[in-house]
A = this chain, B = another copy of it.
Amino acid sequence: MKKTIITVSRQFGSGGRTIGKQLAEKLNIGYYDKEIVDKVADETGFDIKYVEERGEYAPSKSKFAYTFNTMSTPGVMNGMSAADFLWCIQRDVILQIAEKGPCVIVGRCADFILNERDDVLNVFIYADTDFKKDRIVRLYGESEKSPEKRLAEKDKKRAVNYKYYTGKQWGDPINYDLCLNSGRLGIDYCVSLLAEIYNAE
């Protein structure tokens, strides 16, 4: 079956988000990344920064989450943590987006959330550490943390979050149709290759 929905999971700094955005533009189909955050924030009333952080990163006992954990709002939160409640809303949003038709969805366990559909191509973008270090310093600037530490922390959080909600190992090739090394193939070529796959299948 033709794959018209492309989920892009990516290592921090690999350029996966850029690849997803350029791919959607090239194919002239929907692109969902920050848009998911806005929609979830809109539906939940949660702060956008909180949704952005919590949507992809591991649940933690943040002050905010704790506040929700201790709230008793039967029928609304059903006693679940803010993170779990957010997961449910984000999951619904992603399922609705997929129903709308061809698109590229970046991150947020979309590969797992849409695993019952036959029209989804799951892609994982990764790269060598030097390539990622260079990119994050160039794009996001210097930081008090070393580039290696920033890379490791971000991916660790994504892996913990993915494991928590899917029970699977983030970045394990078996969860994806294909995995591309953006550092070796180049970001532009990854875009062309995925466009070819989209148009061919």
Which residues of A line the B interface, CB within 8 A? 124, 126, 128, 171, 173-174, 176-181, 184-185, 189, 192-193, 196-197, 200-201
Contact = CB atoms under 8 A, between A and B. Distances in A.
Contacts of A189: 200-201
A181 B176 contact: yes
A69 B180 CA distance: 42
A126 B174 contact: yes
A178 B174 contact: no
A126 to B, nearest CB: 6
Contacts of A178: 178-181, 185
Contacts of A171: 173
Contacts of A128: 174
Contacts of A177: 180-181, 184-185
Nearest to A128: B174
A129 to B, nearest CB: 9
A122 to B, nearest CB: 8
Contact of A173 (B179, B193, B201): B179
Chain A to chain B: the 7 pairs with minimum beta-carbon distance, closest first: A179-B179, A177-B184, A173-B179, A177-B181, A178-B180, A126-B173, A177-B185
13 contacts: A126-B174, A128-B174, A171-B173, A173-B179, A173-B181, A174-B181, A176-B181, A177-B181, A177-B184, A178-B180, A178-B181, A193-B193, A193-B197
